[in-house]
Structure 1
Amino acid sequence: MTKEFPSDERYVLTDQLRRAADSVALNIAEGSTGQSNAEFSRFVGYAICSAVEVVACLHIRLKRNIIDQSNFNQTYNQTEEIVKMLQALRKRLNNKNYLSMDY
């Protein structure tokens, strides 16, 4: 989607959106390196924050007419699903009865 953004947005919100989206996956990866559940939960929290940042970038782009409502809705809904999954994972990690994941 970001390839279609105007070139004058390339080094501002386009890069920010890409970094935020990448941070979701990177924080999950970093947190899953066999650390404690509490530490993994902290990184999942960072991933959730990055996903919320993606949504904020989408709102700004929609307001600036850089994306249309259809693209906004599709990406927003996908991001919302990711946040729900991350929240469920974080809840499970914080459950004291849940055993640590061994890698």
Structure 2
Amino acid sequence: MPKGRAYLRDQLRRAGNSVAANLAEGVGEFSPAEKARFYRMARRSAVECASHLLVCRRLTLVDDALIGKGLDHLLRIVAMQTSMIKSTSPKTLETRQR
């Protein structure tokens, strides 16, 4: 990335680190509500990563094929995070306990 756009690289890196950190915190929680809260924060950070990639695409800072690959990965990550959030819902937990 060009020197003048280093802030985008830094924001993308921070958002990516936030995904991993919030997932780890959620896994470490016992309360389903707290797990879900951290999983939602992780999902928001993944969506933020996608936004930064789209800005990079618009500014033609990164090869479009790399952007596409990154967005594909993020779509799968967000889908997995959504499943994790749903797994902490009271209805899901009630069904599992039967």
TM-score by shorter chain over 0.5 = yes
Give me the whole-angstrom Cα distance separating, in 1, the residues matched to 2:82 and 2:32: 14
What is the aligned-residue identity percentage?
33
What is the CA-CA distance between 1:60 and the residue it aligns to?
A: 0.4
CA RMSD of aligned residues (A): 1.2
Amino acid at match of 2:36: S
What is the CA-CA distance between 1:35 and the residue it aligns to?
A: 2.6
Matching of residues 22-101 of structure 1 within 5 Å: 22-94=17-89, 95-97=92-94, 98=96
Which consecutive residues of structure 2, in runs of 5 or more, have no partner in the other structure?
none
Deviation string, structure 1 residues 43-100 (Cα, Å, up to 9, x no partner): 000000000000000010000010122011100000110000000111011123246x
Q: State the 4+ residue runs in structure 1 displaced beyond 6 angstroms.
A: none
Amino acid at match of 1:24: V
Considering fraction of residues, name the structure with more helix: 2
The size of the alignment, in residue pairs, is 94
**TM-score under structure 1 length normalisation:** 0.85
Give me the whole-angstrom Cα distance separating, in 1, the residues matched to 2:87 and 2:24: 17
What is the CA-CA distance between 1:31 and the residue it aligns to?
A: 1.7
**TM-score under structure 2 length normalisation:** 0.89
Which consecutive residues of structure 1, in runs of 5 or more, have no partner in the other structure?
none
What is the CA-CA distance between 1:30 and the residue it aligns to?
A: 1.2
